[in-house]
Structure formats: C-alpha cells, structure tokens
Amino acid sequence: MVAEQAGLIAIGAGIAIGVSALAAGWAESSIGTAAIGAMAEKESLFGKGLILTVIPETLVIFGLVVAILIIGLAG
Amino acid sequence: MKPEQMSKCRIVAAKTQLSCVINTLYDLGLYHITPHVKGAHGLEELDIGAPQQNAEELSKLLVGIRAVLAQFPVVSTPKKLATLTPEAFEKLIRTTQRFCSDITALLTTKNTLVAQRDQLVLKKEQLALLASFKLDITALLSSKILGVVVGRASRVEEAKVLFDTEKSLQTQWKGDVVAVVYMRNQEVAVRSLLSTIGFSAIVLEEFVQSQSASPQSMDQLLRTNELQLKKVQQELEIVNIKLRKMHEELPRLAGLENHLVDEIRKLELPLVFATTQSSFVAQGWVPTSQEQNIRAALTHATKQNVHIEFEKPDHHEEPPVKMKNFRLAKPFESLLELYSIPSYSEIDPTFMLWITFPFFFGFMLGDIGYGAVLAILFYVLRKKLPASAKPLLTVLLFASFVSIAFGFVFGEFFGFEHLGAESGKALCDSIGICFHQVTLLEHGVSTVVYEFPHLLSRAHSHVNVFGFELLTVLVIGAIIGFIHLNIGLIIGTINEWQHHGFVHALEAKISWMILESGAILGVMSTLHLIPLHYLVGVVVAILGVVLLVIGEGVQGIVEIPAILSQTLSYMRLGAVGLAGVGLAVVINEKLALPFIDRGGIFIFIGIIIMLLGHLINLLLGVIGPFLHGVRLHYVEFFSKFYRGGGVTYEPFAKSRQSSQTRK
C-alpha cells in the first residue's frame, strides 16, 4: 500500500514537470521561430531574441517547484 | 551611476578651415556628430555641404584596391602607413593607381595564358591519342571516299559487338576510345549507329585545319603543339614572377586601403555639416569633461579662426550615451548592450549587474569542479577569441569564480557531496585531510561516507515555511528576488523623482512598496507573528493600490499579481541549481558507479560515462545559469525601473575596421 502511494506521488510529480516542460517547449518553439526571423533581418536583435525565447522557461521552473512540493508534501 | 555628462558643441568657421577642423576632430576622436537636416530647427536656411575635392578620386582608387585585394584571398597583414606630407601622399596615390592598373592587366594576361595552356595541354593529349592509332588521320580527313571519326564510347562491350556485325566499318580500339573508318556515303547510318553506344567525338577537323593549308603529319602537329605550349608556359612564368614581385606590395596596399577608408570619411564629412557660401556649422556632442581640450585643440589648429560654443542639453534632447563605470564593472556593460543601453538621463544599472549577475550565476552553478573547469575554459577563450568577445567572457570568468565560492558553500565537487568510505579514509590517513564522517540511510541500506564540509546542502536541506517543508535554496531564491525587485523599485523611485518629481515617484514606484508592506503586515498579523489586527495590513495595502491606480491607472491593477509571480520567479535561482545537481548525481551514482563497482574493464567504461555526462552537464551549466541570470535582470529587475533605448556615443575617430577582419 505504501509503495502504491509512493508511486502515485512520483507520477504526480512527473506529470507536473513533464507537462510544464511540454508547454514551455511549445511556447518557446513559436517565439524562437519569430526571433530567428527577426535576427535574419537585423542581427543586433540577438540579445532580445534570446531573452524573449527563454521567457516561457518560467513554466518549467514552476513545474519543478511544484514537483518538489508534491514530493515534499508526501514526506 | 549615471552615463557620462554630455555637452552640445557647435563649431562655426570659414570653409577655408574645413579640412583643418575635420583633421583636428578626427585626431581628437571625441566629437559625436549630429547630421544636419535641411529645415532643422535653428538652421532652416542652410544646405548640407559637399564632399571635399579629392573624395571621388580616392573612392575610385579604393574600389580599385579592393578589387586587387579580392584577387588574393590569402589575407596579408596590413602594413601601417607612415605619416606622409600632402605631396608624398599625392605621389603615393599616383603610384598606387598605376600599380592597380598594372596588376589588373597582368592578372588578365595570366588568365588568358592559363586558358591557352589548358587548351594546348588538352590538345596534346588528344594528339597523342590520335597518333597511337595506326591510321593516317590527316590523309583520311581530306579523302573524298573515306571518312573517319574518333571518340569515346560509354558502352564499350555493346559497341564492340555492334561493330563486329557491321563488316563495312573498320574500327580500332584503345581503351574506351575508338577510331571508326567508314565510306562517306554511309555517313548518316554510321552517325545513328554511333549515337546508340553513347559516343562522344573528338573534333578532328580542328587539329588539321588550324595548322596550315597543306595537310601535316601527326608528328608535325605534335611538334608545333609542343612548341606553342612551351612558349605559353614561358610567358606564364614571366607573368608569375612579376606577380610574385607585386605580391610583396600587398601588405602596403592593404594598409593604404585602411588609410583611404578614413581619408574618404574625412573628405565626405561636410555632407553632415550645414554650410553657407563660405562658412560651415558643425553640431555634435562631446563629453563635458573634455570641453576645454576640444576648444584648445581647435583654436590652436585654426590659429583662432573658429567659433566654438558649448551648451547643456535641453530636456527634450537625447544626447548620445557613454557609460561610465570603473574598470572591474566595465565588462558588464556588454550585458546591457545585448539588451539596450540606458537612456541619457536614467541610472546606468551596470554597477548592479556587476554585483548580482555573478552572484546569481554562482548561486545556480555552485560547484567547485565545474567552476574551476569553466574558469580555465573562459580564461583560455578570452586569450584566443577576438577582442569583441572579450567583455562577455570576462563577465563569465568573473561568474565562474563566484561559482567556485558557492561550490564551497554547498560542498559540491562535480556533483559529489561526499567521498566513499574507503577513499575518505585513505585521504585522511595519507594526506591528513579528514572529512566529517556520516552514515547515510537510503532504501534501508546504511552506508558510511565522508562528507565535504558545507554551509548548506542544496539537495537535502529543508526549511519549514507556514507548515510546508521546502528546500532551503528555493526559499533563499525567493528572498533574494524580493530584495532584488525592491532595489529595482528604489532605483525606479530615484529615476521618477528626478524626472517627474516626488509625487509621481510616490504614485508609480513607492506605491508598490507600500502595497508589499501592507501584504506582509497582513500575513504576519494573521499568523500572530506581530501583535496587530490584520485589518491594519489590509488598510496599508489598499492605500498602496489607490496610489498605484492614480499613478499608473488600470494597468497598475492588472500588474498586481505580477509582483508575486516575479518574486516566485526568483525561485529558479535554486531550481536551476537543483536540476544541475540532480543530473550530476544521476551521472555519478546511478550511471557510472555501478560500472566502477564491477571493476576491471568496467572502470574504464564508468570513467567514459562520467566524462561525457559531466561534459553535457557542464554545457547545460553554462547555458542555464547564464540565460536565467540574464533573464532575471532583463525581465524582472529592469521592468521596475529601466527604460533603455539610449543612442550609443560614437565619436568621429579612427575607424577600427582593418583588412585583418576581412575574409
């Protein structure tokens, strides 16, 4: 029974990080495409493009924090 | 903390002083020119100037030089030009013009000769081939009854069978080359037959007709060809020797190219000046501290025939921005250039970046081993890469030192937090470095290990926050975020105060801090940490919101949740580090150790896994902390005060462009 609960907790944590990573990847793909397009026009936009591209990275960070919380909650 | 102070500088002089003024400005390298626009405020009537007289000629020469240099892809290091008198320069221009046309002519001759030589070599091969057939081809070609074709067949076997059945044809083979002798009246049939075997003919008539009216034997043809070839080769040799001699001149030519680029810029500078019939007006910006130098240099050069005035910038004007930071913080300006440089009137946050960026990077990476490897890597790259990459690498070098420091805080070395029982004991016995001995309990199995000394264990240390067990690093991250954002708000307050007065600063920036204190008071009194009614906090928070609405309108309300998410966003300081630690632990303990424990050849495999794994983790360890560190500044921190959008201060001076960078 204990093992079962531990397994469910692990699955919960996995979903938290996995889905948020997918979401971030999805968001970054379209931003990245646009950023590359803009850079092709004007190379000096590299810095801004890079920063805009990693903005959705926050999603994964929150996902990771939530995953850690879930594991922590279970003790 | 602010960019260098600028003054508007207006120079008025007679056109006779034009080149003198321009040369002085060029040598000073301090004058950021504002191009004159016809109809611009104050000088509506004035036209823009025309380039000085030599400009066109020199531009043409520059094009010529570049055409010559483009022919020699091996980049020669440009030789610096000695200072020249105007007469000597004039003479140099003439000789260079001649040199350029000479070398271009030689190159054309060379190309023609090479083409001729190649053709002759081809012809020689073909003649040798024809001579090897036992046929008098020259006689056959002039014959009225018999015809001959020679050429390559692509399907040899097929062709041989075909020719065997055609008894009327005489064939001779040399490899895949065939000579076919046929009756003239069968010509059409022969051609169609040949087309079926993928036949490509060697044009014979060319060899015979090109010589002379009388048909010559093969030997004669070969001999003439040989002679021609020798002649062409000799000519080519002579041309090559001449070219090689000229080749020595190329570094000087490249040097002249650089010189000309600047010379032409000087000559064309009047295009951005306002001019009248006989005088000109130049407008631009100079650092206020340099006013006296500029005045002295110009009056001296023009023998006091110049009028110079300096003015403080108006409110509506945007002077160019020259960031002013002490030596250690200077490289961090590159992080701002990557984003947008500060506008003239706001606080330059480079100093803050100098403190916080390496701190964030180090906090996220925090490993003695990784930090040391990166420090060496960035140090080497800094020596090897061109100067433009240097500031950023200096920043990263700085950051890797801080990573090492945090490595000691967290007690981590390539992801290891402790040594195994045997190696720890061996280290203690042999060198006398004894680590603290602890017993780990994992999955019911207890192991004795020697722990590295540390102040805080990233992966294991927890704190209790409102009843939640949270990893300490995450909490520290959020606290750092709270402090960092409020420093941003304070800088924002100073900016607003200076531009729009205290009331606006109170409404737009201080209101946020009031809101925050209200929220904190409320939470703390609810948790009975302070003896206050929670409504006090609520009232303070509402006061903050009201001020915010007055200052920033509805947009302010929309952004209220952002302050919370932005603070939480700083948890990444801990989270990115944890991800790195997690990966390192997996590499060490789950992937490599099982192999190493088996001994023998498996130790070798284990080491390879470790090397590869740590290489990947190190790569992620550079990209992750760098991007997240930079992002926390750009997105969270800067949104509290930074406007950016400054114009870079680019004084008219010696250009850095040189042939070395040309590829």
Band (A12; pLDDT cuts 50, 70, 90): very high
CA angle B96, B101, B106 (to 5 degrees): 120
Q: In terms of CA atoms, which chain A residue is nearest residue B336?
A: A47
CB < 8 Å from A in window 573-592 of B: 575-576, 578-579
Tens-digit pLDDT profile for residues B265-323: 888 888 888 888 888 888 899 999 989 999 999 999 888 889 999 988 888 888 999 99
Q: Does B465 touch chain A (CB under 8 A)?
A: no
CA angle B463, B469, B475 (to 5 degrees): 50
The predicted model gives B149-156 an average pLDDT of 81
Q: Does B569 touch chain A (CB under 8 A)?
A: yes
Task: Phi first, then psi: give them for residue B543, nearest 5 degrees.
Answer: -55, -45
Interface predicted TM-score (ipTM): 0.84
Q: Mean pLDDT in chain B?
A: 84
Greater pLDDT, B362 or B440: B362
Q: DSSP string of B569-619?
A: HTTHHHHHHHHHHHHHHIIIIIIIHHHHHH-THHHHHHHHHHHHHHHHHHH
Tens-digit pLDDT profile for residues B247-256: 877 888 888 8
Highest mean pLDDT of the ranges A56-60, B16-20, B397-401:
B397-401
Helices (H), B431-510: 472-505
Q: DSSP string of B6-58?
A: EEEEEEEEEGGGHHHHHHHHHHHT--EE----TT-TT-TTPEEP---TTHHHH
Q: Does A6 touch chain B (CB under 8 A)?
A: no
Check residue A21 and give its pLDDT: 94
* Residue B661 CB coordination number (10 Å): 10
Percent of chain B past pLDDT 90, that is, above it, reads 16
**Is residue A47 situated within a structural domain?**
yes
**Is residue A58 situated within a structural domain?**
yes
Domain definitions of chain B by residue range: 117-234, 330-417+452-640
Greater pLDDT, B132 or B522: B522
Report the domain count for chain A: 1
Strands (E), B102-192: 146-153, 170-174, 177-183
Domain that holds residue A29: 17-70
Q: What single-letter amino acid sits at B578?
A: L
With CB atoms and an 8 Å threshold, state whether A72 touches B468: yes
Check residue B660 and give its pLDDT: 40
Q: In terms of CA atoms, which chain B residue is nearest residue A51?
A: B631
Q: In terms of CA atoms, which chain B residue is nearest residue A43?
A: B338
Q: What is d(CA B5, CA B322) in angstroms, rounded to the nearest whole number? A: 8
Q: What single-letter amino acid sits at B586?
A: V
Report whether CATH 3.10.310.10 matches the domain B117-234. no
Tens-digit pLDDT profile for residues B13-25: 998 888 889 889 8
Query: What secondary structure letter does DSSP report for B277?
Result: S
**Is residue A25 situated within a structural domain?**
yes
What's the pTM? 0.76
CA distances from B337 to B331, B378, B648, B652 (A): 10, 20, 9, 20
